Amino acid sequence: MFLSLARVSKLALQQFHRNLWLSIATISLLMLSLLSINLIIVLGAVGQAAKLAVQDKIDVSVYFKSKVDNEQVEEIRADLLKLNEVSAVEYIPKEGSLARFKERHKDDPVILESLQELNENPFGATLAVKAKDSEQYPRIIAFLEDAKYEDLIEEKNFDDHEFVIKKINALMRNIRTFGLTVASIFGLIAILVVINTVRVAVYTHRGEIGVMRLVGASNWFIRGPFLFEALIFSFTATVLTAAVVYLGFNFAQPYLNNLFEGIKLSLTSYYNSNAATIFGLQFLAIFFLTAVSSFFAVRRYLKV
């Protein structure tokens, strides 16, 4: 068993070597399909980070009328916190709203002066509500639309961010579709190339194969070198892809650092923590692909 394995792998290496250029072409195509898959993964991670960055900034700001006193607002806050969808509610009392306003307009003397002329604080308290998920905001808004709050609330705003999230989601969907299309095209080409590679290998080894068949080598022994070659192809393509991917990260990381304020996106550490899964699955997928193509190509050209 072990002996046969050694002999099969020797034949496979010989086969790989004899059709070196074809082997390189095959591996390159497998790499292209793997790279496009990794691009989807990376863009997915970037998109996720972008979503988090935006989501972090989103809240529903509820501005209460100035006649509403702080205790009432505290009660509403408690009600909101009871909602499943709500993750946090920041409470800014009347005084805080005033201070915020002053801070925001500190360079605008006209506004500050007119504020001075009013005798009392014109602002009501503010609640900044954060949802657990960006899709849950509409329900929070609906909750606040209840008639019993109508008199108390001056204004609530939300829209902008939802739009951005929708945009990001749509973009990510498009990227994924596009990436999968590209990956499938490369995958398809890779299958055709593998089939052709096997055909050429069968042709260049017709002497050996003829002898093997007539002296009674088992079908698996005849197929072995081709399967082993598929293994070499897949393994090499996966390792080289991983190398290219990590190299790419080194170049991209400086740009990513400044991409989203507040969110640190390290692709390297994202990949590191998932490397076994990401590359393991990619290797298995591509080995499955090449092995099956090779299996059928051998059957087609060998009658085994």
Partner 1 sequence: MINLHNVTKTYPPNTVAIKNVSFEVKPGEFVSIVGQSGTGKSTVMKLLIAEELATEGQVKIGGWDITRIRSAAVPALRRQIGVVFQDLKLLPSMTAYENVAFALQVVGAPSQRISEVVPQVLKIVGLEDKTDRYPIQLSGGEAQRVVIARALVHRPKLFLADEPTGNLDTLNTREIIDILTKINSFGTTVVLVTHNREVVNQLRRRVIAMDHGEIISDQENGKYTL
Q: How far is the CB of 222 from partner 1 (least distance, A)?
A: 8
215 contributes a contact to partner 1 by CB under 8 A = yes
Name the residue with tokens 């509409």: 138
Backbone angles phi, psi at 92, to 5 degrees: -115, 110
Give the x-and-dash track for 158-197 against partner 1 (CB under 8 A). ----------------------------------------
CB contact at 8 A, 187 and 33: yes
Give the one residue of 79, 85, 162, 208 binding partner 1; rule: CB under 8 A: 208
203 contributes a contact to partner 1 by CB under 8 A = no
4 contributes a contact to partner 1 by CB under 8 A = yes
DSSP, collapsed to helix, strand or coil, labels residue 242 as: helix
Q: How far is the CB of 215 from partner 1 (least distance, A)?
A: 4
218 contributes a contact to partner 1 by CB under 8 A = yes
Distance of CA 198 to the CA centre of its chain: 35
Give the one residue of 216, 251, 261, 262 binding partner 1; rule: CB under 8 A: 216
Q: Interacting stretch for partner 1, rule CB under 8 A, among 110-118, 149-157, 207-215, 248-256?
A: 207-215
Q: How far is the CB of 249 from partner 1 (least distance, A)?
A: 44
Where in the chain does DSSP place strands (E)? Answer: 60-64, 86-92, 126-131, 153-157
217 contributes a contact to partner 1 by CB under 8 A = yes
Nearer Cβ to partner 1 (157/218):
218
Distance, in Å, from the CA atom of 294 to the CA atom of 17, rounded to the nearest integer, reads 17
Q: How far is CA 300 from CA 188, 190, 221, 228, 296, in A?
A: 18, 18, 17, 18, 6
Helix axes 219-257, 159-204, angle to 10 degrees: 150
Backbone angles phi, psi at 127, to 5 degrees: -115, 130
Q: How far is the CB of 243 from partner 1 (least distance, A)?
A: 34
213 contributes a contact to partner 1 by CB under 8 A = yes
CB contact at 8 A, 87 and 55: no
By CB under 8 A, the count of residues binding partner 1 is: 19
DSSP, collapsed to helix, strand or coil, labels residue 303 as: coil
295 contributes a contact to partner 1 by CB under 8 A = no
Q: How far is the CB of 224 from partner 1 (least distance, A)?
A: 10
Binding site for partner 1 (CB under 8 A): 1, 3-4, 7, 207-208, 210-219, 221-222, 304
